[in-house]
Amino acid sequence: MRSDCFVSVVVPLRNNTTIIKSFVQEVLEVLRLNYANYELILADDFSSDTTAEEVEKLLSKFECIRYIRLSRMSGIEIAITAGLDSSIGDFVVAMESEFDPPAEIPKMVDLARSKQGIVIGVVDKKVQYGFAVRVLSPFFNFLCNKLMEFRFPKNASYFWVLPRQAVDSITRIRQKSRYFRVFVSNIGYRTVLYSYKQIPQSGKFKKWGIFPALNLGFSMIISNSMQPLRLISILGIATSAISLLLASGIVVYRFATVQIVPGWVGISLWIMSLFFINFIILAVLCEYVGRIHEETKEKPLYNIMEEKNSSVVIADEFRRNVFEESIDIVDDTKGN
């Protein structure tokens, strides 16, 4: 028996020409068998291949598909945001077409309904991560716990199920630097982990290198924590105090003795240390100023170049909360 809840599936796309047709067919088959009302939202992150043309064919062939094409490449988080903004489901599923199996959707939605919380997919082994990323991941998780005061689920993916209340809370956050793992922690909803196995549609995983991972981790901490700024403030105060003590000692030594023993080595080391600390402080401050500059720009998170729907969006035309005509409301307080 099909469930009466409305399920929206949001899928970010980026150059997925070779797999989009089979993926859409599989997702729609799962939704059709399990839910009376559903929609599949394809959020295209400005693909440079023929993904748009392939989706155009699918729109004329399948029902309940919505296609959103962004005007420029903005990243997976922004593409998912565009999908969440336009979703209307009671539960919204976010997933990656390259790795996440559609057959797991009903189980995760049922878990979200029973636990009344957000379901986060975790994989047994992140084989698409390089060796350096796997080695540094525990250290990054430790930093997040200390600096941002929350823990990342280990090996969490983008396969999530969000209740409507959580979707509304997340879409109200218009921060330019978007990290859904941080948002979910901040909005305070209960989270449930769901273990599953990723299946690469192309037959192999794309390796994620150390430099993109470092850039993501550094940006995530800078955008969501004041602790690094506080640490360098403490470091600056401590350095200034030591400098003041050293200067006082030099003055006392000068008046206590006639001959001053040259201390060029110590002074040089101290000067280099001061320059080192100052440049660290300036670097971190520049990062924060840059983030502030981006956040204060009054520009939208994304711009939609193209938006299309297939012939039918609501699968069940007799759904109780969908009206075919308006209803006149009579005001009893007025006379006839």
The 10s digit of each residue's pLDDT in 146-160 is 666 666 677 888 999
Confidence grade of residue 118 (pLDDT, cut at 50, 70, 90): very high
Residue 110 and residue 255 in one domain: no
The verdict on residue 324 lying in a domain is no
Confidence grade of residue 46 (pLDDT, cut at 50, 70, 90): very high
Is the model's pLDDT at 200 over the cut of 80? yes
Instruction: List the beta strands (DSSP E) in the chain.
Output: 3-13, 35-44, 65-70, 91-94, 118-123, 156-163, 191-196, 304-309
Confidence grade of residue 27 (pLDDT, cut at 50, 70, 90): very high
Is the model's pLDDT at 329 over the cut of 50? no
Residue 148 and residue 62 in one domain: yes
Residue 101 and residue 250 in one domain: no
Please state the separation of Cα 96 from the chain's center in Å: 13
Domain tally, the chain: 2
Residue 201 and residue 236 in one domain: no
Mean per-residue pLDDT over the chain, rounded:
79
φ, ψ for residue 40, nearest 5 deg: -115, 115
Q: What is the pLDDT of residue 322?
A: 43
Residue 156 and residue 304 in one domain: yes
Going by C-beta distance under 8 Å and a sequence separation of 6 or more, which residues neighbour residue 303? 70, 71, 72
Instruction: List the beta strands (DSSP E) in 156-258.
Output: 156-163, 191-196
Residue 234 and residue 197 in one domain: no
Q: What is the pLDDT of residue 267?
A: 73
The verdict on residue 288 lying in a domain is yes
How many whole angstroms separate alpha carbon 192 and alpha carbon 111?
A: 8
Q: What is the pLDDT of residue 154?
A: 76
Q: What is the pLDDT of residue 69?
A: 96
Q: What is the pLDDT of residue 132?
A: 62
Residue 10 and residue 54 in one domain: yes
Q: What is the pLDDT of residue 113?
A: 94
Percent of the chain with pLDDT over 70: 65
Better pLDDT: 214 or 58: 58
3-state secondary structure of 287: helix
The verdict on residue 327 lying in a domain is no
The verdict on residue 149 lying in a domain is yes
Confidence grade of residue 89 (pLDDT, cut at 50, 70, 90): very high
Percent of the chain with pLDDT over 90: 39
Domain CATH code at residue 213: 3.90.550.10
Q: What is the pLDDT of residue 175?
A: 78
The 10s digit of each residue's pLDDT in 204-238 is 666 656 666 666 667 767 666 667 766 776 776 67
The verdict on residue 89 lying in a domain is yes
Is the model's pLDDT at 312 over the cut of 60? no
Q: What is the pLDDT of residue 196?
A: 93
The 10s digit of each residue's pLDDT in 246-288 is 666 666 766 666 565 666 556 756 776 777 777 777 777 777 7
Residue 78 and residue 194 in one domain: yes
Better pLDDT: 10 or 247: 10
Report helix angle 131-143 to 210-224, nearest 10.
Answer: 10
Residue 46 and residue 166 in one domain: yes
Is the model's pLDDT at 66 over the cut of 90? yes
Range of the domain at 265: 227-296
How many whole angstroms separate alpha carbon 238 and alpha carbon 236?
A: 5
Q: Beta partners for 161?
A: 93, 119
Is the model's pLDDT at 48 over the cut of 90? yes
Confidence grade of residue 57 (pLDDT, cut at 50, 70, 90): very high
The verdict on residue 92 lying in a domain is yes
The verdict on residue 51 lying in a domain is yes
For the ranges 114-123, 135-144, 296-305, which has the lowest average pLDDT?
Answer: 135-144
Q: What is the mean pLDDT of residues 66-77?
A: 92
Nearest Cα neighbor of 123 from 69, 197, 176, 65 is 197
Residue 99 and residue 236 in one domain: no
Sheet holding 65-70, edge to edge: 191-196, 118-123, 156-163, 91-94, 3-13, 35-44, 65-70, 304-309
Residue 156 and residue 235 in one domain: no
Residue 144 and residue 233 in one domain: no
Q: What is the pLDDT of residue 268?
A: 58
Is the model's pLDDT at 103 over the cut of 60? yes
The verdict on residue 332 lying in a domain is no
